[in-house]
Chains A and B, each alone.
Chain A
Amino acid sequence: MTTALDPAIRADAEEAMLHLRVGTSTRVLVGVCGAGAVVMALAWSHTTWPALVVWYGVMLLSQAARIWSEVHAAQRSSGRPLKQRLNWAGWSALMSGLVQAASLAFFPSEDGFEQALHTLILLVMSTGAVVYTAGHPRTYYPYMAPILLSLTLAWWTVSDAASERPELALGFGALLVVYAINLLGYARDTWAMFVNAAAMRHHEAMQNQRLAAAVKAAEAASHAKTRFLAAASHDLRQPIHTIALLAGVLKLRHRNDASTEAVTLLDSVVQSLSHQLDDLLDISKLDAGVVKVAAQPLSLPRFLHRRLDEVSNEARAKGLALQLRADQELSVFTDPNLLERVLRNLLDNAVKFTAQGGVTLTLQQEGEQALIKVSDTGNGIPPEQQREVFQEFVQLHNPERDRSMGMGLGLSIVDRLCRLLEIDLQLHSQPGQGATFALRLPLLVRSSSAVQQAPTQPLPPTLDLDVLVVDDEIMVRQATAWLLSEIGCRCQVAEDRASALDAVRTRRPDVALVDYRLRGGDDGIAVVQALREQIPGLPAAIVSGDIGPEQLQAVESAGLRLLHKPLSPRLLQTELHLAMGQRADTHEST
């Protein structure tokens, strides 16, 4: 097995064997020293002690040399080539073997029991060494050969001398030869297993390497795709846009010409091409994972209104009725651009595939969720095809595959976008009874809360505004004034309607924050109206701790923003920024 071996695997196995010896080094030392001590004790009574001490000293020295060579010289960190390190291991094994075999010099003087014990010790040592060398031939043989050869010779020698039963000693010597041969076979098998394990490790490492390379290649491909998309979305569309311009030029030049028809057709061809390219790029971008979600608070009714406006021309041309049912002021936290794309696709589809009747866009609250429904009175989608329509290039009502109706990417884009935005998308439809696409998004805190639409730009660090605070509680007035000064505003305070009107006569505020419940049954909305009689169009917001649905309605119908207590600097900043819009910036620059 070892002959046909990949040199790299053999080297791995040999490296592992050398490493194995570091871990076992101390254990071997304990064993050898113990065994040496026993041998010394056995021979003590018959032998002159200096010879024993010298032998034991030499053995300790040889062990020290062995440990040094195993732990340092034979390791990869020594920087020596593998072959040289294997030689080190071999020589150190030979030295240990010779020193231990030398103990047999005391053997002839021992009695029968002592000889048996001595033999047992040496056999255990040479057998155990298979484990410590993993049976590696060039390391194991130099160790076991001197011991077993000397041991065999020792037994044969004592049989010649004063043995009572020489044939027994001779036979035992022969048995030792057989044992040695078996041990060699055992060592070879062990080494083969060891190499086999190394081969498996090697294979695994190669596999991992290949896997890592594949992952790297995939990443590179993904980057390439992203780069391509970036380039494509920026550059690929330019020629098409230019053609549109040129079509415009032609239209202007040949105003009453017969070519007008051709130019009009050219224009619609270019439009179709442009939309199809946009769709393809969208799909690829979504699949490549380069579309990032930029979520922000979004007030839905106005947003939905705009979406419906976008298809109104087309709907009117087809004689379809458009309806918006969005009476509740609901806000969500999502990416407006991507949600816009979702609704645009759904509404475009609804209008495109509805011949008569109309399209309805509905917004309602459902528990903690906002439910947006796009319903049409078109042909509907049979249940068995309701899954299929979300796949790419599937168009149900276009069997002729008229490409001017697009490529059938609309709903697959919707599906991907909804997954990206974590919107629950459902389709309800019966053939002949139209279709309804339902989108469910988690609501943003309370409806009509203060944070309906955060500015797209980061807030300026400070606002330089004159703010009028009207509140009947002195603690609240002071706290609010303090908050306002935190964000860089100046503040006037008033406790009721009269003092508020007084205050604005002397200094004109940029914005007013008025508590909903004021002293003497007066309410904030009325105070704002009174203030606006003096300063028309004064930006104002109502502040309230607790407010019922009726009052909420009143604040909304007065067209005022509502701020919930407790106020935070951040909330105030957002609100004032919203209330003032760009004016805050221009103040800043003065």
Chain B
Amino acid sequence: MRALIVDDHSMFCDGLKLLLQTLGAASEVATCTNSEQALEQVQALHWDLVLLDWNLGEGSVGGAQLIGQIVALQPDSRVVVISADASTQRVHAAVEAGAVGFVPKEASADLLIDAIRITSHGGIYLPTSVLDRPDHRSTPQPIVQMSDPGPGPASIQEAYPRLTPRQIDVLVCAVRGQSNKLIARALGISDGTVKQHLNAVYRELGVNSRTEAVYRLAHQGLKVF
């Protein structure tokens, strides 16, 4: 797997690179410290995983806008946001913009290892605090545990055997933030068919939108490649 780290602090880039390499998760890791470099890299080479700092410093393009640009240039990449501010709103904005995960820069090694392991294995990591509960009016249930990090995330196929391979293709594309148009082009089908597939998939997952689907998959610890 090839991973690209984008963070305006080269120190943090190097640390994250070291962690990815130690985990043995990535065959190649590149780092860059601003949005221009990031877009150049994304344009020139294929990256499976883009670990993106939400805030690239004053005056730099970042956040939702940059996620959109990266997804448009490289629809197959999975963009995972890394941010010191992991408020519910920020996470929501990142997922809405097309991110397939959100790793808080929180100072806990275990959490970082978990998050990086899950995302580098194709899972969706979201901070547990933002994960929705289907029924919010009951008394608290045991907290959601992120999927057991040992065996790695399960596939969508296993969790939703009723979905067809084509529907899963469409879902994976959508979850990565691609627009219906992009998905249609990538899979060689019509926009209308994409829409139909997505409706079917959302019904199967019991969700109403791409964003909800991302939360749902994160909740279940499923792999999206």
A→B interface (CB under 8 Å): 230, 233-235, 237-249, 251-253, 263, 267, 270-271, 273-275, 301-302, 305-306, 308-310, 312-313, 316, 322-324, 326-327, 336-337, 340, 456-457, 536-537, 539, 579-583, 586-587, 589-590
Contact = CB atoms under 8 A, between A and B. Distances in A.
Contacts, number: 159
A340 B210 contact: no
B179 interface: yes
A489 B132 CA distance: 29
Interface string B119-131: 0000000001110
Contacts of A589: 179-181
B89 A336 contact: yes
B131 to A, nearest CB: 8
B137 A327 contact: yes
B125 to A, nearest CB: 14
The 6 closest A-B pairs by CB, nearest first: A581-B209, A582-B209, A245-B15, A274-B107, A248-B109, A302-B136
A91 B96 CA distance: 84
Nearest to B129: A310
A400 B109 CA distance: 28
A271 B104 CA distance: 13
B105 A309 contact: no
Contacts of B132: 302
Interface stretch (B17-25, B36-44, B160-168): B17-25
Contacts of B57: 234
A350 B168 CA distance: 45
A313 B136 CA distance: 18
A228 to B, nearest CB: 13
B208 A248 contact: no
A537 B202 contact: yes
B143 A586 contact: no
A457 B209 CA distance: 15
B191 interface: yes
A337 B96 contact: no
A457 B105 contact: no
Contact of A312 (B130, B140, B192): B140
Select the residue from A244, A316, A539 with max chain B CB neighbours within 10 A: A244
B219 to A, nearest CB: 12
B113 A590 contact: no
Select the residue from B105, B107, B210 with max chain A CB neighbours within 10 A: B107
B4 to A, nearest CB: 17
Contact of A246 (B18, B23, B144, B174): B18
B143 A313 contact: yes
Given A537-B202, A589-B181, A590-B180, A237 B105 contact: yes
Given A306-B129, A326-B137, A587-B180, 14 more contacts: A238-B9, A238-B12, A246-B15, A248-B112, A249-B15, A252-B19, A270-B107, A271-B107, A309-B144, A322-B140, A340-B88, A456-B93, A581-B210, A589-B181
A350 to B, nearest CB: 14
Contact of B180 (A248, A251, A263, A586): A586
A472 B194 CA distance: 35
Contacts of B129: 306, 309-310
B105 A579 contact: no
A590 B196 CA distance: 12
A242 B15 contact: yes
Interface string B126-168: 0011101100110110111000000000000000000000000
A248 B195 CA distance: 42
Contact of B88 (A244, A247, A308, A337): A337
A249 B18 contact: yes
Contacts of B23: 252
Contact of A240 (B107, B142, B144, B211): B107
B140 A309 contact: yes
B140 A324 contact: yes
Contacts of A248: 19, 22, 109-110, 112-113
A305 B138 CA distance: 9
Nearest to A242: B15
Contacts of B133: 302, 305, 309
B106 interface: yes
11 contacts: A230-B58, A237-B105, A242-B12, A245-B12, A246-B18, A252-B23, A271-B106, A305-B140, A336-B89, A539-B208, A581-B208
Contacts of B202: 537, 583
Contacts of A583: 198, 202, 208-210
B108 interface: yes
A288 B21 CA distance: 42
Select the residue from A242, A313, A580 with max chain B CB neighbours within 10 A: A242
B218 interface: no
B56 to A, nearest CB: 10
B202 to A, nearest CB: 7
B11 A324 contact: no
A555 to B, nearest CB: 14
A586 B179 contact: yes
A309 B180 contact: no
Contacts of B11: 238-239, 242
A457 B93 contact: yes
Contacts of A239: 11
A340 B91 CA distance: 14
Nearest to A252: B22
Contacts of B107: 240-241, 243-244, 267, 270-271, 273-275
Contacts of B210: 581-583, 586
B109 A242 contact: no
Contacts of B3: none
A240 B16 CA distance: 13
B16 to A, nearest CB: 6
Contacts of A253: 22
A537 B202 CA distance: 9
Contacts of A582: 96, 209-212
Select the residue from B132, B140, B191 with max chain A CB neighbours within 10 A: B140
B203 A340 contact: no
Contacts of A267: 107-110
A245 B19 contact: yes
B92 interface: yes
A248 B15 CA distance: 9
Given A246-B15, A306-B130, A590 B143 contact: no
B181 A301 contact: no
A274 B104 CA distance: 13
Contact of B96 (A246, A310, A457, A579): A457
Contact of A581 (B16, B58, B84, B211): B211
Select the residue from B11, B16, B22, B136 with max chain A CB neighbours within 10 A: B136
Contacts of B9: 235, 238, 242
B65 interface: no
A452 to B, nearest CB: 12
Contact of B136 (A244, A273, A305, A312): A305
A271 B108 CA distance: 6
A340 B113 contact: no
A587 B136 contact: no
A313 B111 CA distance: 13
A254 to B, nearest CB: 11
A583 B207 CA distance: 10
A586 B109 CA distance: 38
